[in-house]
Amino acid sequence: MKTIGKYLLTGIVVAIAVALVLQKYWDYVVNPWTRDGQIRAEVIQITPRVSGPIVSLPVVDNQLVKKGDVLFEIDPRTFRASLAQAQAQLQKAKNNYDALEKQVEAAEAQVKVAQGSVLQADSSIKQLESEIAKNEAEYQRQQELLPQQATSQKAVERARANYEVSVQQRNGAMAGLLQARASLIGVEADLAEAKANLGAPGQDNASIRVAQADLEQAQLNLGFTRVVAPVDGYVTNLNLRMGSQAVANQPALAFVDINSFWVHGFFRENSIAPIKKGDRAIVTLMSYPDKPIEGWVDSLAWGIAQQDDSPGFEMLPNVSPTFEWIRLAQRVPVRIHLGELPEGVALRVGTTASVLVMTGSASGDEGRPVPPAPSLLQ
């Protein structure tokens, strides 16, 4: 009886152990998992905006730097000289503008003088026409009085002379008016030319804006000689040396954004159907097999590159032969956002990881401990 009870107790213990083991493996057998995972991060290609020899290189390969720290500095002397030249050109443009503005003011004054001369000539003509009418009337009156011997021939001659003189004065005034108008047209043309040479007034003036833009470009180029870290991150693959020539718009070093790490898990296409955005994920790094990282599904890729149907010989579709009884499932990238890292874990771009997704856990299960993936799944 004791032997039966002992065997029964042993069987119960074994059954409980097997149940616990099966429950332990349930998450890793039923839920989608893959050993084909990679650590990814945003890798920034640090590219100088200007060319020149490197005169300062305060960082070393694989160094952690903060946003705004100087990565390297290009010789600034050429760009300081360009800045000084641009400043001089701007001052010259302003001086030229002032001189042209004075020319406009002088031309405007000449136009006012010419307009005054035209008004004065016109007024003189009106006065002379009134004088002509008066002298003509007097001359006719003297002629009418002469047969009556109410005046003398001398008075008639004097009246005629006054009339002729006033007519000649009016003719002279008419000539002066024409000359004044011609002079006005000339100075107005000079004013228009002066205004055209001046251009738009104030800061809208084209020459000043061009010089100002050149100055701003020179200031930017001088600032571009100091290449700084755009974000917190790691300098990697640093091949620069003091005196190396930095070339504008050519990448000089790689920079890993420390706050941009994520995991790409490449799941078989026949296992991604239950995976939803927000599902809890367990990431186990090959380099830290006993320190699992909690994360969650950020997104699933909507497409992968197709090898078949690409243009081949004579632009015909390039289709690889396949065995009909073998159907290989495609791998679809699933982006995993990582949570807080365990102590001592350092992420490195390109390293291998195992990923398990706890399907149906998008709205719960947050407080559950994160177990490491068994070695079988790693």
Query: Whole-angstrom Cα distance, residue 157 to residue 142?
Result: 9
Supply the pLDDT for residue 375.
57
Q: Topology of 48-74+227-250 in CATH?
A: OB fold (Dihydrolipoamide Acetyltransferase, E2P) (2.40.50)
Q: Per-residue pLDDT for 162 more than 80?
A: no
Q: Which of 245-259, 260-274, 354-368 has the lowest mean pLDDT?
A: 354-368
With vertex at residue 289, the alpha carbon angle to CA 372 and CA 331, rounded to the nearest 5 degrees, is 80
What phi and psi values does residue 216 have, to the nearest 5 degrees? -60, -40
Average pLDDT over residues 327-348: 90
Supply the pLDDT for residue 123.
81
Average pLDDT over residues 230-248: 92
Q: Per-residue pLDDT for 90 more than 80?
A: yes
pTM for the full predicted model: 0.68
* Confidence band of 335 (pLDDT split at 50, 70, 90): very high
Query: Whole-angstrom Cα distance, residue 338 to residue 41?
Result: 11
Average pLDDT over residues 328-339: 90
Supply the pLDDT for residue 186.
83
Contact criterion met (CB below 8 Å) for 48 and 70: no
Q: Which of 190-204, 231-245, 255-269, 309-323 has the lowest mean pLDDT?
A: 309-323
Determine how many CB atoms are found less than 10 A away from the CB of residue 150: 11
* Confidence band of 364 (pLDDT split at 50, 70, 90): low
Three-state secondary structure of the chain: CHHHHHHHHHHHHHHHHHHHHHHHHHHHHHCCEEEEEEEECCEEEECCCCCEEEEECCCCCCCEECCCCEEEEECCHHHHHHHHHHHHHHHHHHHHHHHHHHHHHHHHHHHHHHHHHHHHHHHHHHHHHHHHHHHHHHHHHHHHHCCCCCCCHHHHHHHHHHHHHHHHHHHHHHHHHHHHHHHHHHHHHHHHHHHHHHCCCHHHCHHHHHHHHHHHHHHHHHHHCEEECCCCEEEECCCCCCCCEECCCCCCEEEEECCCCEEEEEEEHHHCCCCCCCCEEEEEECCEEEEEEEEEEEEECCCCCCCCCEECHHHCEECCCCCCCCCCCCEEEEEEEECCCCCCCCCCCCCEEEEEEECCCCCCCCCCCCCCCCHHHC
Query: Whole-angstrom Cα distance, residue 166 to residue 127?
Result: 10
- CATH number of the domain located at residue range(s) 79-219 in this protein: 1.10.287.620
Q: Topology of 30-43+257-377 in CATH?
A: Elongation Factor Tu (Ef-tu); domain 3 (2.40.30)
Strand order of the sheet with strand 226-228? Answer: 226-228, 70-74, 52-56, 245-246
Within the chain, which residue ranges are assigned CATH 2.40.30.170? Answer: 30-43+257-377
Within the chain, which residue ranges are assigned CATH 1.10.287.620? Answer: 79-219
114-154: per-residue pLDDT in tens?
788 778 878 877 887 777 777 777 767 767 676 776 667 77
Which of 245, 283, 292, 225 shows the shortest CA–CA distance to 82?
225
Report the interhelical angle of 206-224 vs 77-145 (nearest 10°): 170
Q: Which of 13-27, 46-60, 164-178 has the lowest mean pLDDT?
A: 13-27
Quote the tokens at residue 269.
Answer: 């296409």
Within the chain, which residue ranges are assigned CATH 2.40.50.100? Answer: 48-74+227-250
